[in-house]
Amino acid sequence: MLEKLGLFGLFIGCALSATIVPFSSEALVAGALLLYESRWLVVTVAALGNTLGGMISFLLGWLCKWEWLEKYLKIDRERLDRIHARVAKYGYPAALLAWLPIVGDLIAIAMGLLRLKPLPTALLMLAGKFARYAVIAGVVNLF
């Protein structure tokens, strides 16, 4: 699939994986790293796509009520409360951890619930996601 869709497919796949759609982008990135010579192009496209997905989750938190998140997205209120408290404590730097599996989406949603400014949130989220994919590129390069 990645061969046919190319970098656009990588971008879309990474964007979707950073939303509430449950799948991991690591396999997409590893595959793209094997297909393309420029590791930095792959890392950049993946990070930008994943940041877009994270910002969609951020927007979801910004626009939705807690009750909607529980009812329609089946997000556990207790878990979201804990993450919300941590994000409120650490503020913008929490965006650096939005790449984490499982809790990353909740971090982005919590940042939206807190109505943090979108630009600093997006820039820090991008930095964290870029670092994540750079590490993956380094690991793939070892093999």
What is the tens place of the pLDDT at every residue in 92-128? 999 999 999 878 988 999 999 999 999 999 999 999 9
Q: Which residue in the block uniquely carries the two structure tokens 């670092």?
A: 131
In terms of C-beta distances under 8 Å and separation of at least 24 residues, what long-range contacts does 11-14 make, across chains too? 11/45, 11/46, 11/48, 11/49, 11/52, 12/49, 13/49, 14/45, 14/46, 14/47, 14/48, 14/49, 14/50, 14/53
**pTM metric for this prediction:** 0.88
Residue 143 to residue 140: CA distance in whole angstroms: 6
Q: Which residues of the chain have pLDDT under 50?
A: none
CB 15 within 8 A of CB 53: yes
Residue 3: per-residue pLDDT: 59
Domain boundaries, the chain: 2-142
- b (16+ CB within 10 A) / e for 26-40: bebbebbbeebeebe
Dihedral angle computed from the Cα positions of residues 80, 113, 115 and 99, in that order, rounded to the nearest 10 degrees? 50
